[in-house]
A and B are shown apart, each in its own frame.
Chain A
Amino acid sequence: MIKLTNLSANYTTVRGTVTAVNNVNLEIPDGITLGIAGESGCGKTTLLKVIYGDIGFPLSIESGSVDYGLTDEYDELITTYNIQKHWFHRITYIPQGSMSSLNPVVRINAQFFDFIKSRSQRRRMLEEVREYVKGLGLPPEAIDAYPHQLSGGMRQRVMVAMASFLKPDLILADEPTTALDVVVQKGILLLLMDLQEQMKSTILFVSHDMGVHYQISHKMFIMYAAKGVEYGDSKNVFERPLHPYTRLLTESLPTIGDAHLRKGVAGRPPSLWEKLIGCRFADRCPYVTEYCRTDEPAFTEYRPGHFAACHYSERFL
């Protein structure tokens, strides 16, 4: 189980510090796909970065901790400060743009083994990799190609292959399908679902597309303006959401076969530079009261395993 306790992370800039992840509490069971949703700038990617342990200036952890529930070969607990040693082996990362994350002047096979030093070991592993990518729907020759010779979908498959080849415990995927077309996207998502079932790894999947989350995620975590607003099983979050923001997110999307007028959410998220008092969604919330503007709602468990940060979640129960 991965446990985030009171996790806050800051960016230091010339204008001062801005808290991009604010007081996030989360318990993620092993072997599931957790979907993280929210608008751009709400801290999704920063949260992933902190969990990945990729912390360096200007990003810093202000308070709280990440407990991975993993131990290394000497039985020592893995923490944010030594997880870097386990990158690629125990914890891997699929970045957003497959186009820009592969080195354009180095063949794929060379990039696959960046982390392996000995030549003989590399040769042995190359054969395994060829077998492995075949299972992911890539031609084995793709391994010998340069990135520009492959299509966007194939490159993203290569990224998935790199992230899953060593059977890590935790895969972090940051909008892995955003730049892809729907048909290619479906291929990648089905692949991730199959891999997750085979390897029993935990996948943290960031996307702003609620439809994608409905297909792939077992649990959902919704973020708004650096804070968690809802967390629970996908089924509950989609069918019986407890936070008005989640409700608006799922209801505002048009579906084919249903042409009645949909409204977007008016306004925009608050700027994190300002001192924020009360509920951060208050300005855009249809149910807002004076109480919301002064008192911040706590992240409370309303149903078993279903949390929300809203004063009036009971009305949705």
Chain B
Amino acid sequence: MITTVLKTEHLNKEYSLGSLFRRIKINALDDVNLEVKSEQPVIISLVGESGSGKTTLAKVLLRLLQPNSGDAVVYDRIIAGEGAVKKKAAFLKSVQPIFQNPFEAFSSYRPVDAYLQTTAMRVGKLTRSESVEVMTTALNAVGLKYADVRGKYPNQFSGGELQRVSVARALIPRPNMIIADEPVSMIDASMRMNVVNLFLSLKQEYQTSFLYITHDLATAYYISDYVAVMYRGCIVEFGAARDILTSPGHPYTRLLLDSIPTITMKWDRKGFASSDIETKEFRFQGCKFYNRCPLAQSICTEKRPAPVKKGDGREVYCYFA
């Protein structure tokens, strides 16, 4: 059966900046339209620079922020915006978060298994003794043992292990989708792949979809089925991950790919421009990237480009794609 894994329709979120008298509004999410339909669970990556609206989108999906307009659907259930499900339990079984820094996600004065237990008791409506079994299964799924975790405080774990515990916590309600906001950026390189591989195996075993938010395009390529590239609150390119990251259609995606420090090729050191007018770019009438775009022409400054559907199913928001 084909389900709508993730769908956002005209999602907008406005922030105000500045003082009381010189207030400016920026659209952290600017008409975001995404749609992923699939039979199988998928991993969707959301990539972009900081300030591109990635985390805002995650927060809207997690109901930490109220969108100004539009709605979001996860597994055929409206979870944010107008007409969203009222019941908290249904919502918590749709989406669960994993945050960037596991040491900040867990209080250092509370044993980590207390978090798992609370989740099992409140969301799963289980008794104290029933929850132990659920916790054991969840911890086994991430490669840990309940006996090793029980009663321990966050400082007794390494970053990678603690991030696994937070994945286990997110698994307890058996959510349709786990939203992972930069889950590996605080973890050391040697342990990063363990967490990333865990997502791949959970996708198969638990049938959980992931929204993987990152600025690391290499891991996005490695695990994801779909990728959405964001720039200043707008989606600029969206489609199958392997296609986009091997042959980018939007000039911004190309810029991102050229900027990754790889260990296979040295950079071309000529002709590089970075942007220092971030807030202004948010308010551009036309394409938000025209200021830095090598292909920019006058039409780009006037009107926002509409998505162009390509042969391989990707959407590119560019006049010259």
Residues of chain A touching chain B, judged by Cβ–Cβ distance below 8 Å, are 39-40, 137, 139, 151-154, 181-187, 189-190, 193-194, 208-212, 214-215, 238, 245, 248-250, 252-257, 259, 261-266, 268, 284
Contacts and interface: CB of A to CB of B under 8 A. Distances in A.
Given A183-B256, A264-B191, A151 B276 contact: yes
B90 interface: no
B221 A259 contact: yes
Contacts of B20: none
Contacts of B192: 252, 264
B13 interface: no
Contacts of B278: 151
A51 B217 CA distance: 35
Contacts of B257: 256
Contacts of B49: 181-184
Given A39-B188, A151-B276, A259 B222 contact: yes
8 contacts: A39-B191, A151-B276, A152-B50, A183-B49, A184-B274, A254-B219, A257-B246, A263-B193
A185 B261 CA distance: 9
B87 interface: no
Given A209-B261, A211-B262, A190 B276 contact: no
Nearest to B263: A214
A189 B261 contact: yes
Give the size range of B's interface with the partner: 35 or more
B221 A190 contact: no
Interface string B276-287: 101000000000
Nearest to B50: A181
B194 A264 contact: yes
A250 B218 CA distance: 13
Contact of B266 (A215, A259, A265): A215
A177 B215 CA distance: 14
Given A40-B159, A181-B49, A214 B193 contact: no
Given A259-B221, A262-B222, A266-B194, A253 B263 contact: yes
Contact of B242 (A214, A259, A262): A259
Contacts, number: 127
A262 B193 contact: yes
Nearest to B185: A178
B221 to A, nearest CB: 5
Nearest to B222: A254
Interface of B: 49-50, 158-161, 188-197, 215, 217-219, 221-222, 242, 245-246, 255-264, 266-267, 269, 272, 274, 276, 278
Given A185-B259, A264-B191, A253 B218 contact: yes
B17 to A, nearest CB: 12
A252 B190 contact: yes
A186 B257 CA distance: 11
A214 B189 CA distance: 15
A208 B189 contact: yes
A240 B194 CA distance: 24
A253 B260 CA distance: 13
A181 B52 CA distance: 11
A137 B218 contact: no
B253 to A, nearest CB: 11
A2 B266 CA distance: 27
B20 to A, nearest CB: 17
B246 A261 contact: no
B263 A250 contact: yes
B104 to A, nearest CB: 15
A212 B260 CA distance: 9
Contacts of B267: 186, 190, 215
A214 B266 contact: yes
Contacts of B191: 39, 264-265, 268
Contacts of A284: 190
Contacts of B262: 211, 214, 255-256
